[in-house]
Amino acid sequence: MSHDPAAPSRTAVLLVDDHQMVIEGLKTLLKTDAAVRVVAQASSGLEALRRLREHPGIEVALVDLNMPQMSGVELTRHIRAAFPAVRVLALSMFHDHASVMEVLEAGGAGYLLKNTTKAELSAAIANVAAGRTHFSQEVGQTLLQHLDVPAQRPDSSPVAELTAREREILRLVAEEKTNQDIARALFISERTVETHRKNILTKTSCKSVVGLIQYAIKHKLLA
């Protein structure tokens, strides 16, 4: 098949699920998406890691959470450690708080339910490929219901007033950028980045990056 060099680049995707029917369903949904190219598939965590070594251009991995031998969360940790440029989008039938938090803490960039629509699947891939996060509406609601910030109390303080620079850094933190990455992108020192991060955590009363992402989602600070 000929390839038009003038055509816009398509996001290279790996599909990981131990059920072939699910793989085929995802491929069918993505077949008409001109912005996505499914370059590999795997039915287990170990096979997924092999596929990533064989296809270094893969940008997004859609990972089923409930797999034997190596769970989707374990696979996500391995991918983030060995292939840090690959963005992981979790797929699950469940959206309980524990599962969502496990994915976030493992380094996942998004969380979709298996009843997702074609439009949302395409949007999620585009978002995580661009360095953003993406959560199904139900998943977002689960996160909001378990916020670890004091915003739920009747006497809660107003939304933290962040400077334009702090909002910029918050977005980069949510994209899992390191202090070094952020310093390079914004042409500032790593020490300045660290100071801004501390100020953001203090202003939002968050104790961790995961809590910060929850807070940012609730208050629409990542838009």
Q: What is the pLDDT of residues 16-65, one digit of tens each?
A: 999 999 999 999 999 999 999 999 999 999 999 999 999 999 999 999 99
Q: Which residues fall within 8 angstroms of residue 158, CB to CB, at 6 or more apart? A: none
pLDDT at residue 140 in the model? 77
Distance CA 102, CA 117 (A): 24
Distance CA 63, CA 161 (A): 36
pLDDT at residue 6 in the model? 43
Tokens of 140: 């977002």
- Please list the ranges in the chain whose pLDDT falls under 70: 1-8, 146-157, 223
pLDDT at residue 156 in the model? 52
Tokens of 83: 């292939």
Radius of gyration of the chain (CA): 18
pLDDT at residue 221 in the model? 81
pLDDT at residue 149 in the model? 45
Q: Structure pTM? A: 0.68
H-assigned helices in 84-189: 97-106, 118-129, 137-145, 164-174, 179-186
pLDDT at residue 148 in the model? 52
Mean pLDDT, the chain, rounded, equals 86
pLDDT at residue 154 in the model? 45
pLDDT at residue 31 in the model? 92
Tokens of 94: 């469940």
